[in-house]
Amino acid sequence: MSPLQHGPTVPTGSPRQVAVIGAGMVGLSCAWFLQEAGVQVTVYERDSVGAGASWGNAGWLTPALTAPLPEPAVLRYGLRAVTSPRSPVYLPLRADRTLLRFLGGFVAHSTARRWRRGMAAYVPLNARALEAFDVLAAGGVMAPTHRATSFLACFRHEREAGHLRTELERIRDTGQDVRFDPITARQARALEPTLTDQVGAAVQLHGQRYLHPPEYVRSLALAVRARGGELVEGVDVATLQARMDGATVVTTTGEHQRHDAIVVATGAELGRLAGPFGVRQPVQAGRGYSFSVPVEQMPRGPLYFPAQRVACTPLGSRLRVAGMMEFRRPDEPLDPRRIAAVVDAVRPFLTAVDLDDRRNEWVGSRPCTPDGLPLAGATASPRVFVAGGHGMWGIVLGPLTGQLVAQTVLKGEAPPELAPLDPLR
Ligand SMILES: Cc1cc2nc3c(=O)[nH]c(=O)nc-3n(C[C@H](O)[C@H](O)[C@H](O)COP(=O)(O)OP(=O)(O)OC[C@H]3O[C@@H](n4cnc5c(N)ncnc54)[C@H](O)[C@@H]3O)c2cc1C
């Protein structure tokens, strides 16, 4: 029988007991904001808190850079570049069905017109993204977000810096708040002595923040538990069943748990549970790598190497280095060649950073959609909701998504910001 057993009718009364599947940034944010309205939540996580992409990412809270991934410049990369294992974007030659559907849609969306349409969806979200972190902080989430007093994008050549400036201006033209200054290589090195003389130009971004991803998701999980939420780790959800009066989580061990509603927030694996409820957009893993290294003098803020597609973030006493976009299945093992490629890409630009003393080597899956927009809101069942598909931006947009999806679950109606993110599009 289809999981959608009685058709999409809006249920009467707000749900009081809601299950969230997935304890990443997005799922935990949904749980927290549902609790704000007095809902009792149960979060099911097949592994442990933050086991997915929400752990090893760069932790940037950068609304100024938050834009759809498909854009005309991506296509200029060409097939040769993306099939080399050392390229910062890697596409295996052996493709599966999800990947082929994803790529077809991605190419179709990589036009200037569609990018502008995607930006129109992002602008109102980006305007509120940081505020949602302040709501979490005021509500007792202890892990801090840091204001980036320095946030530098670094380049070997002035010409490359020019490309980023043009891109930022394009983003600003869509109505987004983007503040930046071009600075000389000398000024960049004065700000961040860890940069070498291979940096030939830089752009300083203003008004952005960053966080320590593992600390932050742990702290969010603690807050959900402290407010009476149940967080069940080590439980793999096999399927969902929806009826008029509620929805049931069925685990891989055959247990059934009934809830008033369910929010699917399973990151790069969203399609498996959400597909039967009319969510047709493929969610493809865009795998990224990271590791941490010791530094003699910690940079004052994040460092970005756009041409190499590498992000560096101060995390406690070590520097996290993250990069690479590899379109492979989420469960494939870490490929050491990608770590080596990231190391080689940044080595020329950093001094007094021991890139060979690496810890916490990690691979994780960005949940990417073909149009570069998240999937957030109701499905074909009035009892099943979806929150995910944020690609490169699920940390910065996680809390706001949680806030808006919680409103949708409670009111049975999506706020206007979610209209372009309709999971049934
Ligand atoms: C290298 C890298 C750098 C990044 N940098 C940034 C950045 O600087 N800023 C930013 O905003 N974003 C960044 N991102 C993207 C960001 O990490 C993701 O968009 C975000 O973490 C997605 O969160 P999520 O909660 O949707 O998914 P996830 O964190 O992947 O969580 C999904 C959870 O669901 C669980 N799960 C899956 N299936 C099931 C099931 N059947 N039953 C139970 N549980 C299940 C998983 O175990 C997982 O814990 C980066 C990503 C990478 C890879």
Per-residue pLDDT of the chain (425 residues; tens, 9 = 90+): 344 444 333 345 789 999 999 999 999 999 999 999 999 999 999 999 999 999 999 999 999 999 999 988 776 665 555 666 677 777 776 778 888 899 899 999 999 999 999 999 999 999 999 999 999 999 999 999 999 998 999 999 999 999 999 999 999 999 999 999 999 999 999 999 999 999 999 999 999 999 999 999 999 999 999 999 999 999 999 999 999 889 999 999 999 999 999 999 999 999 999 999 999 999 999 999 999 999 999 999 999 999 999 999 999 999 999 999 999 999 999 999 999 999 999 999 999 999 999 999 999 999 999 999 999 999 999 999 999 999 999 999 999 999 999 999 999 899 999 999 999 99
- 213-226 and 25-36 helices cross at what angle (nearest 10)? 30
- Angular region, 317: left φ>0, alpha ψ -120 to 50, beta rest: alpha
Distance, CA 289 to ligand 1 centroid (Å)?
13
- 398-411 and 25-36 helices cross at what angle (nearest 10)? 50
Distance, CA 362 to ligand 1 centroid (Å)?
13
Query: In Å, how far are 24, 220, 304 from 30, measured between CA atoms?
Result: 10, 11, 30
How does DSSP assign 44-79, residue by residue? EESSSTT-SHHHHS--EE-GGG---S--HHHHTTHH
Predicted local confidence at residue 250, as pLDDT: 98
Q: Is 293 exposed, middle or buried (0-12, 13-18, 19+ CB in 10 A)?
A: buried
| C-beta of 288 in contact with ligand 1 (< 6 A) | yes
Which among 378, 383, 389, 381 has a CA at the least distance from the CA of 269?
A: 389
Q: Which atom of ligand 1 is nearest to the CA of 286?
A: 53
Chain position carrying tokens 């904001």: 33
| C-beta of 322 in contact with ligand 1 (< 6 A) | yes
| C-beta of 388 in contact with ligand 1 (< 6 A) | yes
Nearest CA owner, ligand 1 atom 41: 237
CATH top class, domain 17-421: alpha beta
Going by their DSSP bridges, the two strands 89-90 and 318-326 should be labelled as: parallel
Distance, CA 285 to ligand 1 centroid (Å)?
10
Most informative mutation of 20, 249, 327, 395 for ligand 1 (most atoms within 8 A of CB):
395
This prediction's pTM? 0.95
| C-beta of 24 in contact with ligand 1 (< 6 A) | yes
| C-beta of 23 in contact with ligand 1 (< 6 A) | yes
| C-beta of 60 in contact with ligand 1 (< 6 A) | yes
| C-beta of 45 in contact with ligand 1 (< 6 A) | yes
Number of H helices, E strands in the chain: 12, 21
Which among 278, 232, 258 has a CA at the least distance from the CA of 382?
A: 278
Which among 142, 140, 133 has a CA at the least distance from the CA of 227?
A: 140
Predicted local confidence at residue 85, as pLDDT: 66
Q: What is the side-by-side strand order in the sheet with 375-378? A: 230-233, 40-45, 17-21, 261-264, 384-388, 375-378
Distance, CA 266 to ligand 1 centroid (Å)?
8
Distance, CA 157 to ligand 1 centroid (Å)?
33
Q: Which atom of ligand 1 is nearest to the CA of 22?
A: 34
Which among 87, 9, 3 has a CA at the least distance from the CA of 335?
A: 87
Most informative mutation of 212, 237, 393 for ligand 1 (most atoms within 8 A of CB):
393
| C-beta of 326 in contact with ligand 1 (< 6 A) | no
Q: Which SS3 state, helix, strand or coil, does residue 348 take?
A: helix
Nearest CA owner, ligand 1 atom 38: 266
Q: Which atom of ligand 1 is nearest to the CA of 322?
A: 1
Q: Which SS3 state, helix, strand or coil, does residue 259 take?
A: strand
Asked if 371 contacts 105 with a C-beta cutoff of 8 angstroms, the reply is yes
The token pair at 166 is 């043009």
Q: Which atom of ligand 1 is nearest to the CA of 52?
A: 30
Distance, CA 177 to ligand 1 centroid (Å)?
26
Most informative mutation of 269, 305, 346, 361 for ligand 1 (most atoms within 8 A of CB):
269
